[in-house]
Amino acid sequence: MCLCLMSLVDSKQKSFADLGYEGVDLSNQGRFDEALMLFLEMERMQPLDAENLVNIAICLENLNRLDEVERYLQKATKIEPKREDAWSMLGQVFIDSALVAYSKAIKLHPKADMLYFARGNAHQARGDHYSASADFLQATKIQDSNYQAWNNLGSAYMSLSQNEEAIQALRKTLTFIPTHPIPLTNLVITENRVCEWSRKYKHNKLLRKALHEQLAQRRSLVVPFHAFEFNFSSDEHKRNAQMWSRTVEEKVAYLNRFEPGGSKLAGKGSRLRIGYLSGSGFHNSTTTARSMRSQFSMHNRMSVDVYCYAAQGDDGSPVRAAIKRGCDKFVELQGKSHQMMAERIRDDNINVLIDLTGYTMNMQTEVFAIGPSPIQAMIPFMDPRCEELLEMKMELMEMMMMMMMMMMTMTMMETMMETMMVEMEIEMMMEMMMEMMMEVVMMNILSKNEKVRRITSDDEQPTRRELGFDDDDIILACFNQVNAHAVVVCPDNRTQIMPLQLYKIEPEKRGVDPSRIVSHEQFPREREFRVKGLADVFLDTPLFNAHTTAGDVLWSGVPILTLPGESFVQRVASGMVKSAGMQWMVTRNLLDYEELAVALIQRKERAKSIKGRLEDTRDELPLFDTQLLTEEFERGLLMTWEVHEAIGAAYNIVVSRLGADRNIFPDGKVAS
């Protein structure tokens, strides 16, 4: 008690700003009772400071003093009516009150389906998808025609990764509203997850119709990143993204605009100050965090300072801890509004701000629309409107998908579209050096993979027999319609798959002995690479390629057989295979795919030889060289800044090196 009193006495000698910094640090450490004391002292000094009132509310919420939370948030919104974070928190408080009210109403009217539906929505808003799914399911049991409950049940199942259940619920929804874009897009996304493509062409037609209906109303159909799954044309991708960005621009139009920070080098010794913003908070559950965990520490501190901004709280994972150690400054932004995030980044004088979330979950597009830094980048997610540019690169430079595209722009652009992406018409492609946008192209890599992910302890190596295989089996990883024929033609091979219901039905239809299909649940991450490494060949799915899995499989020493299609999601694996120096494993058509698969299966020694070569050479592949990627990426940023300082306009930059396209089979021979 004496220590607390002494702390309070000392606090009175500190400035308002000093108390604020100390309070935020305590809050980030979870010491909310101590932080609250400082924030209350600040309230006595400046009772009308809205940000401090919000900080008090955050502490009170974590201390479960909910009645007081509402009072402080109401005060904050009266002082600053446009304060987004205060309104958002207030909404959460009301959600908690709503849950109590709905529960009482259900006790009075237990057969009212819309009460369960409403409570399910409240649970969904709080992120409690399990409770939400239970309420939506109960609503459908009471009233089978409640299509809203069916739709939201499907969404809840998607969030819980219960894909089969989600598909059933969403298909039921479409029996009532057959062309509604929301259940339709969610259904196709979920079907892709389990390789359920029996209705793909029908759904593609409906999706294209829905897209043009939305575009006619100047609205987007779906998040641009997810649109890659729908086989739209390059122009359709671009128009969908334009409408999405227009909506984002409208959302931030009311916010206070300001000049970006970082217009001059502010780092020690005039180093470039790079900021990485993660909407998912660098959580272990995200591919980006796992793949980039070492990159932040590998930057050259003679040239750059590295700031990391986390929009979500600490998940307690080793991945996030490693990232935090690897940067010069780690800033917690959980609970902050887009305006407050942008202001903090501006005040830190970040020269180049990099979006690590893109259009995926917990996106922070609004922050980039505000424009806190003079140069902003989206990485490593493919931009919807650069697909036609990518096609040109494939044709003219034979680079396939080895390149990683990063769009960089100056904040002088007038619209969100110009702030985040390259806008380029097909007929203008040959004039790309004259474009108003900046493009940085890096060779060899689409998604980065880390060598440190490999497990070296021999005692963790699983055996084939442990997983249900014989020592002389040829193991095919994955499963699709073409490899079903390969399994029939080659009766000595066995297939390792995820335990999806579809995979239990389809093989039997094609006369495949079910005992030859071995399924496993997901393995812990530390064991996953060992298990994948037992496979002899990975058969990629042409309609929707392996993405992160492709990198994992190659690092595990397993060659990938793939067939590129027309869209981004159908070309990812081919880029990674070429980056691994195995160009001949990229086939031209379904017949080639099947013939090469059969050849690899029938010639066991050849298949094992190919795998052995990949295992021997993977340490030398640029695809897995995190340090090399970091150096080239950093060089691109430094070149970008030099252009910015020299001419104040966008310019195209290519970071390249000799020997970028190597082949581990120099004689060009194939497995035939």
Residue 652 pLDDT > 60: yes
Please report, to the nearest 10 degrees, the dihedral formed by the alpha carbons of residues 619, 478, 595, 505 taken in order.
170
Q: What whole-number distance in Å separates Cα of residue 87 and Cα of residue 91?
A: 6
Pairwise pLDDT comparison (248 vs 388), residue with the higher score: 248
Instruction: Place 68 in a pLDDT band, splitting at 50, 70 and 90.
Output: confident
Q: Taking the model in full, what pTM does it have?
A: 0.69
Instruction: Place 384 in a pLDDT band, splitting at 50, 70 and 90.
Output: very low
pLDDT value for 477: 65
In 207-359, DSSP assigns E strands to: 272-278, 304-310, 329-332, 352-355
Instruction: Place 251 in a pLDDT band, splitting at 50, 70 and 90.
Output: confident
pLDDT tens digit sequence for 221-231: 988 888 888 88
Distances (CA, A) of 204 to 198, 330, 475: 12, 43, 33
Residue 379 pLDDT > 90: no
Average pLDDT over residues 504-512: 64
Backbone φ, ψ for residue 350 (5° rounding)? -75, 125
Residue 636 pLDDT > 50: yes
CATH H superfamily, domain 2-92: Tetratricopeptide repeat domain (1.25.40.10)
pLDDT value for 337: 81
pLDDT value for 417: 30
Contact 386, 308 (CB under 8 A): no
pLDDT value for 464: 64
Residue 373 pLDDT > 90: yes
Instruction: Place 290 in a pLDDT band, splitting at 50, 70 and 90.
Output: confident
Instruction: Place 193 in a pLDDT band, splitting at 50, 70 and 90.
Output: confident
Residue 107 pLDDT > 70: yes
pLDDT value for 28: 77
Residue 432 pLDDT > 60: no
pLDDT tens digit sequence for 565-615: 877 778 888 988 988 888 889 999 989 988 888 888 788 788 788 888 888
Average pLDDT over residues 63-80: 86
Q: What whole-number distance in Å separates Cα of residue 668 and Cα of residue 666?
A: 5
pLDDT value for 397: 34
For residue 307, the SS3 value is strand
Pairwise pLDDT comparison (645 vs 461), residue with the higher score: 645
Instruction: Place 383 in a pLDDT band, splitting at 50, 70 and 90.
Output: very low
Map out the domains of the chain as residue ranges.
Answer: 2-92, 112-252, 272-442, 466-623
pLDDT tens digit sequence for 449-505: 555 444 444 446 676 666 666 666 666 666 344 444 444 444 454 444 444 444 555
Q: For Cα atoms 239, 242, 248, give the angle at the middle one, nearest 5 degrees.
A: 150
Backbone φ, ψ for residue 80 (5° rounding)? -130, 90
Pairwise pLDDT comparison (435 vs 288), residue with the higher score: 288
Contact 83, 50 (CB under 8 A): yes
pLDDT value for 440: 56
Q: What whole-number distance in Å separates Cα of residue 443 and Cα of residue 446?
A: 9
Residue 307 pLDDT > 90: yes
pLDDT tens digit sequence for 524-572: 555 666 666 777 888 888 877 888 788 888 888 888 999 998 777 788 8
Average pLDDT over residues 387-396: 38
pLDDT value for 515: 64
Residue 329 pLDDT > 90: yes
Instruction: Place 438 in a pLDDT band, splitting at 50, 70 and 90.
Output: very low
Average pLDDT over residues 642-659: 73
| Nearest residue to 24 (alpha-carbon basis) of 335, 262, 348, 338 | 335
Whether the domain at 2-92 and the domain at 272-442 fall into the same CATH topology: no
Instruction: Place 21 in a pLDDT band, splitting at 50, 70 and 90.
Output: confident
Q: What CATH number was assigned to the domain covering residues 272-442?
A: 3.40.50.11380
Residue 418 pLDDT > 50: no
Mean pLDDT for all residues in the chain: 76
pLDDT value for 353: 95
Domain 466-623 has CATH 3.40.50.2000: yes
β-partners of residue 327 are none
Pairwise pLDDT comparison (403 vs 600), residue with the higher score: 600
303 half-sphere exposure, CB direction, 13 A CA radius: 16
Residue 10 pLDDT > 90: no
pLDDT value for 250: 84
Instruction: Place 200 in a pLDDT band, splitting at 50, 70 and 90.
Output: confident
Average pLDDT over residues 304-310: 95
Instruction: Place 241 in a pLDDT band, splitting at 50, 70 and 90.
Output: confident
Instruction: Place 385 in a pLDDT band, splitting at 50, 70 and 90.
Output: very low
Instruction: Place 326 in a pLDDT band, splitting at 50, 70 and 90.
Output: very high
Q: What whole-number distance in Å separates Cα of residue 47 and Cα of residue 140?
A: 50
Instruction: Place 110 in a pLDDT band, splitting at 50, 70 and 90.
Output: very high
CATH H superfamily, domain 112-252: Tetratricopeptide repeat domain (1.25.40.10)
Q: What whole-number distance in Å separates Cα of residue 589 and Cα of residue 598?
A: 14
Q: For residue 404, what are the contacts with CB-CB under 8 A and spacing of at least 6?
A: 379, 380, 441, 442, 445, 446, 447
